[in-house]
Amino acid sequence: MQTYKNGVVTVYELGNIASDGDMPKEGLTLKYTLRYDERTVGINRYYTALQANVRINYVLRCPRLRSVSTQDIAIPNDGKQYRIDLIQYPEDDPLSMDLTLEGVTALYDIV
């Protein structure tokens, strides 16, 4: 039984947050709030990511939602914004997903 006891991650959709008629502005709108367990970033995953110039900060296991996308931004307990770099669906019970997170360089406004 998965308990997701390490914290809460908020998943945001990245899109245009400008008012009608204003210049487009990228920002975040709330999509989901999920509990998570922090997973170990394995040595193979870490070095494979480095070869692709990706710096993995976290791997979080959350309840499975197929509508979470690699186009979304996640904010875990540390309050920082991370791009969802990879989503994996392990064959666990209950159904879960692993979110691989990479820090963003430019912060987005949140609506």
Q: How far is CA 96 from the centre of its chain?
A: 14
Length of the chain, please? 111
Quick check: 3 pLDDT over 70? Answer: yes
Confidence band (pLDDT; 50, 70, 90) for 53? confident
Q: Does residue 104 contact residue 73 with C-beta atoms inside 8 Å?
A: yes
Q: Superfamily for 7-110?
A: Bacteriophage SPP1 head-tail adaptor protein (2.40.10.270)
User: Which amino acid, residue 69?
Assistant: S
Phi-psi region for residue 39, left (φ > 0), alpha (ψ -120 to 50) or beta? Answer: beta
Higher pLDDT, 1 or 45: 45
d(CA 84, CA 80): 13
Task: Parse the chain into domains and list their residue ranges.
Answer: 7-110
Q: Alpha helices, DSSP H only, in 1-111?
A: 43-51
pLDDT digits (tens, 9 = 90+) for 93-102: 889 999 999 9
Quick check: 67 pLDDT over 80? Answer: yes
The first and second tokens of residue 80, run together, are: 């920082």
